[in-house]
């Protein structure tokens, strides 16, 4: 008898600890107090938005399981190879570039890409069946209402610094007066519409008279771009960016379809709130 009471008490204590750590239960799956706290810290969202995000993520994960959506290791590797090729990098250089910019290991890179591919498959299964390509009038109207979204520099005048040694190049970035024969440099102008989107993004987010982040140059070395001047684009014509406008419209439509889908799923889901972080 005493033995039965002992195990009952232990069970109650363990269950109490589980409940104590649980903030919300979504279809019998918990979101913990720690999940909410960590999301608030990492995303800089307030508690309400962090909870909304975690509930949506939990519902997405459950939908992925229900639809039996999966991504193979080969699909992940193929995606990494494709991304590396787009950036004129080897796979190893791509890993190194991501590691430098986001401080991720190769395993973490693969995990993130796998999660993104799974999400894409889920979104395609849900959204693409409900979406139609925009017609000419819709494209024109969207462009007129969102012109500020398509404003970008016409070109960047840069001084390109390269070196086979990343630490030497970092010394130059940290101290512009630093000189080393192991660093070469040349002036180069990059036209926004003629360079890879990743390079355009890197240059656009680099302030005037500053060095860009150091990245692999695809030739067993490293490169950093010093922004000398920026030529603003005075007249962006719809004809030149029609594909970009179409992609943005489709992206907005996709997000709207997904939002409505998971809003309905949330209304129909069994969601119990136990307590929130204090």
Residue-wise pLDDT tens digits, 153-205 = 889 999 999 999 999 999 999 999 999 999 999 999 988 877 777 788 889 99
Element (H, E) at 147: none
d(CA 185, CA 222): 12
Please choose, from the candidates 252, 271, 251, 253, the residue with its C-alpha nearest in 3D space to the C-alpha of residue 56: 271
The pTM of this model reads 0.64
d(CA 257, CA 267): 16
* Residue 10 confidence class, pLDDT cut points 50, 70, 90: very low
Structure tokens at 249: 């419209």
Q: For 25, phi and psi rounded to 5 degrees?
A: -115, 120
* Residue 132 confidence class, pLDDT cut points 50, 70, 90: confident
Highest mean pLDDT among 27-31, 124-128, 219-223, 238-242: 27-31
Instruction: Give the model confidence (pLDDT) of 252-278 as tens digits.
Output: 888 888 899 999 999 999 999 998 887
Instruction: Give the model confidence (pLDDT) of 35-89 as tens digits.
Output: 999 999 888 889 999 999 999 999 999 999 999 999 999 999 999 998 888 777 7
Task: Note the pLDDT of residue 6.
Answer: 47
* 102-106, 148-152, 223-227, range with the lowest pLDDT: 102-106
d(CA 13, CA 20): 10
Contacts of 195 (CB under 8 A, 6+ apart): 203
From the CA atom positions of the chain, what is the Rg in Å? 25
Is residue 222 classed exposed, middle or buried when 0-12, 13-18 and 19+ CB atoms within 10 A define those classes?
Answer: buried
Task: Note the pLDDT of residue 220.
Answer: 79
Across the range 89-106, mean pLDDT stands at 76
* Residue 9 confidence class, pLDDT cut points 50, 70, 90: very low
Task: Note the pLDDT of residue 2.
Answer: 47
> Strands, DSSP E only, in the chain?
22-26, 29-32, 153-163, 183-191, 215-216, 222-232, 271-273
- The domains of the chain, with CATH numbers, are 1-68+135-151+241-278 (1.10.4030.10), 73-130 (no CATH), 152-232 (3.10.50.40)
Please choose, from the candidates 147, 172, 174, 152, the residue with its C-alpha nearest in 3D space to the C-alpha of residue 162: 172
Task: Note the pLDDT of residue 100.
Answer: 64
Task: Note the pLDDT of residue 101.
Answer: 63
Query: What's the residue count for the chain?
Result: 278
How far from each other are the two terminal CA atoms of the chain, in whole angstroms?
Answer: 40
Average pLDDT, the chain: 85
d(CA 111, CA 71): 11
Element (H, E) at 15: helix 2-21
Task: Note the pLDDT of residue 147.
Answer: 82
Q: For 255, phi and psi rounded to 5 degrees?
A: -65, -35
């Amino acid at each position: 008898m005493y033995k039965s009471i002992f195990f009952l008490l232990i069970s109650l204590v363990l269950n109490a600890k589980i409940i104590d750590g649980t903030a919300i239960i979504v279809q019998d799956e918990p979101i913990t107090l720690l999940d909410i706290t960590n999301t608030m810290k990492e995303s800089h969202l307030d508690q309400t938005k962090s909870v909304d995000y975690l509930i949506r993520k939990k519902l997405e994960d459950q939908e992925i399981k229900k639809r039996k959506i999966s991504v193979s290791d080969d699909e992940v590797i193929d995606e990494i190879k494709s991304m590396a090729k787009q950036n004129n990098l080897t796979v190893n250089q791509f890993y190194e570039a991501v590691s430098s910019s986001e401080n991720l290991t190769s395993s973490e890179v693969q995990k993130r890409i796998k999660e993104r591919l799974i999400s894409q498959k889920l979104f395609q299964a849900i959204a693409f069946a409900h979406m139609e390509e925009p017609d000419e009038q819709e494209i024109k109207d969207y462009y007129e209402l969102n012109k500020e979204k398509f404003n970008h520099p016409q070109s960047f005048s840069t001084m390109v610094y390269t070196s086979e040694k990343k630490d030497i190049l970092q010394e130059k970035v940290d101290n512009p007066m630093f000189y080393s024969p192991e660093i070469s440099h040349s002036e180069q102008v990059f036209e926004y519409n003629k360079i890879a989107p990743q390079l355009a993004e890197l240059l656009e987010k680099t302030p005037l008279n500053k060095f860009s982040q150091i990245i692999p140059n695809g030739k067993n070395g490293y490169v950093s771009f010093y922004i000398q001047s920026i030529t603003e684009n005075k007249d962006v014509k719809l004809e030149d960016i029609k594909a970009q406008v179409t992609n943005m419209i489709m992206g907005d439509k996709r997000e709207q379809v997904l939002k409505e889908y998971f809003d309905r799923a949330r209304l129909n889901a069994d969601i119990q709130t136990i307590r929130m972080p204090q």
